[in-house]
């Protein structure tokens, strides 16, 4: 069975800092599969991302919950990209009009997204992750293992602490 590792940050309660969420080994990160288009990037493969911490963010541009999480995801990208974090937005449409590449490009421009976005119109990557929610965040460690997931809004401090913890681990 999978082993859960609990991370504790000394003085978290006193200092008002978030305690990192427990890490769990959910298995090897699924490949980005069935992607219609890669925007802001050439196609990415999990094997090429080994040695990096990868945040996979499932979103769609009309989802209010996704829009509310976007500032956090963008901030993590800006803050940690030079330390080894790779953010990959997986745009999986909820409605037919969200399948339009031009609409997705316009949303990326409107929201100021600069990290790679995989357009997953056929839900192939969504299904590979067995995802069920917008938004959904998966964190992948430097060895290519999914070790954290969060669905919906919230847990921003906890998620950032996990990012920091994973970046500090040897690659």
State pLDDT tens for residues 58-90.
999 999 999 999 999 999 999 999 999 999 999
Chain mean position to CA 66: 12
Of residues 136, 51, 122, the one with CA closest to residue 88: 136
Look over the chain and give the mean of its residue pLDDT values, rounded to a whole number.
91
Extended strands (E) in the chain: 4-5, 23-24, 37-39, 53-59, 85-91, 117-119, 136-140, 146-151
How much is the pLDDT for 19? Answer: 60
More confident residue, 78 or 1: 78
How much is the pLDDT for 171? Answer: 82
% pLDDT > 70, the chain: 88
Q: Which of 5-14, 19-28, 101-110 comes out lowest in average pLDDT? A: 5-14
pLDDT band at 20 (very low <50, low <70, confident <90, very high): low
On the question of pLDDT at 112 being above 70, the answer is yes
pLDDT band at 2 (very low <50, low <70, confident <90, very high): very low
More confident residue, 18 or 57: 57
On the question of pLDDT at 99 being above 60, the answer is yes
pTM above 0.85, yes or no: yes
Cα distance between residue 2 and residue 43, in whole Å:
31
pLDDT band at 22 (very low <50, low <70, confident <90, very high): confident
Q: Is 157 helix (H, G, I), strand (E, B) or coil?
A: helix
How much is the pLDDT for 7? Answer: 36
């Amino acid at each position: 069975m999978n082993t859960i590792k609990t991370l504790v940050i000394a003085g978290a309660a006193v200092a008002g800092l978030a305690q990192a969420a427990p890490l769990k080994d959910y298995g090897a990160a699924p490949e980005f599969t069935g992607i219609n288009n890669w925007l802001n990037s050439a196609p990415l493969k999990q094997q090429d991302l080994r040695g990096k911490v990868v945040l996979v963010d499932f979103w769609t541009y009309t989802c209010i919950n996704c829009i509310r999480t976007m500032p956090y995801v963008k901030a993590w990208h800006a803050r940690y990209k030079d330390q080894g974090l790779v953010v990959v937005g997986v745009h999986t449409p909820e409605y037919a009009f969200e399948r339009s590449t031009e609409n997705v490009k316009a949303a990326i421009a409107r929201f100021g997204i600069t990290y790679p976005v995989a357009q997953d119109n056929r839900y192939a990557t969504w299904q590979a992750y067995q995802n069920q929610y917008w938004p959904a965040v998966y964190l992948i460690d430097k060895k290519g293992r999914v070790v954290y997931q969060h669905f919906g809004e919230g847990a921003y401090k906890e998620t950032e602490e996990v990012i920091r913890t994973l970046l500090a681990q040897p690659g």
